[in-house]
Amino acid sequence: ENLLRQKDQVKEFRTLMMKYDSALLEVRTKLDVLNKELSLRNNRNPFEAIKMRIKTPLSIYKKLNGKGVDFSIENIDKYISDVAGIRVVCSFVDDIYMLADCLANQDDIRVLQRKDYIDKPKKSGYRSLHLIIEVPIFLVQEKEYMKVEVQFRTIAMDFWASLEHKMKYKKDNINQEVISDDLKFSADLINQLDLRMQQIRRKIDGEEE
């Protein structure tokens, strides 16, 4: 009987992951469509790359554990908003806001949360725009809204976040404060570069500054 219950739970978990995977595909298609239209209109791509991932069972388990709750389908739904994650790497800061608005304003999208870590960077120096959205997926018998976290960042912000993420695990205790300060300083430098590159592009495009 126990074995049967476990089998059911595994099946339920796999179904849930299939739904998150489908939600990722939906959002990816929406972004691809926007990219096609905006590329034709402006002669350049608003984003350089898209990365998608489904959180691993171990990572889901650790996150729930950290929040002090059991591993269950209900708790995954309730406590984790980034089981399905998409990272959109844009060329320029203004493209981030334009794309995020285009996505958020689509009439089948529900925006649950918008965290602007570009306007208000994290203490680490981290910058990105995060949207937690719900997107409908159409199954054989039902329509279900699934949560997806979309992170928008520039190539430069992505460069910083990737390296910082890797180095986070290597920081030793003695130098921790100095290293954190260095990383924060680098993030601010990168931000200045981002803004400069945007100014240059605007000049080239004949846009006003």
Q: Is residue 115 near ligand 0O2 by the rule CB under 6 A?
A: yes
Residue 8 or 77: the one with the smaller Cβ distance to ligand 0O2 is 77
Question: Least Å distance between CB 12 and ligand 0O2?
Answer: 23
Stretch that binds ligand 0O2, among 17-25, 31-39, 40-48, 160-168 (CB under 6 A): 160-168
Q: Which of 122, 136, 138, 189 binds ligand 0O2 (CB under 6 A)?
A: 122
Cα 6 from Cα 179, distance rounded (Å)? 46
Please tell me whether residue 165 binds ligand 0O2 under the rule CB under 6 A.
Answer: yes
CB of 150 to ligand 0O2, least distance (A): 11
Identify which of residues 41 and 123 has a Cβ nearer to ligand 0O2 in the complex: 123
Q: What is the C-alpha separation between 128 and 104, in angstroms, rounded?
A: 16
Cα–Cα nearest to 87, from 25, 30, 152: 152
Instruction: Using CB under 6 A, pick the residue from 84, 164, 190, 191 that binds ligand 0O2.
Output: 164
Give the nearest distance from C-beta 73 to ligand 0O2 in angstroms: 18
Regarding 158 and contact with ligand 0O2 (CB under 6 A), the answer is no
Please give, one letter per residue, the 3-state secondary structure of the chain: CHHHHHHHHHHHHHHHHHHHHHHHHHHHHHHHHHHHHHHHHHCCCCEEEEEEEECCHHHHHHHHHHCCCCCCHHHHHHHCCCCEEEEEEECCHHHHHHHHHHHHCCCCCEEEEEEECCCCCCCCCCCCEEEEEEEEEECCCCEEEEEEEEEEEEHHHHHHHHHHHHHHCCCCCCCHHHHHHHHHHHHHHHHHHHHHHHHHHHHHHCCCC
Please, which residues bridge with residue 152 across strands?
88, 129
Q: Locate 174 and state its tokens.
A: 């003695």
The answer to the question of residue 194 lying near ligand 0O2 (CB under 6 A) is: no
Closest distance of CB 97 from ligand 0O2, Å: 17
Asked whether position 95 contacts ligand 0O2 by CB under 6 A, the answer is no
Of 5-24, binders to ligand 0O2 (CB under 6 A) are: none
**Residue 124 contacts ligand 0O2 per CB under 6 A:** yes
The residue behind tokens 């608005």 is 101
- # chain residues binding ligand 0O2, by CB under 6 A: 9
Residues at the interface with ligand 0O2 (CB under 6 A): 82, 115, 122, 124, 126, 130, 161, 164-165
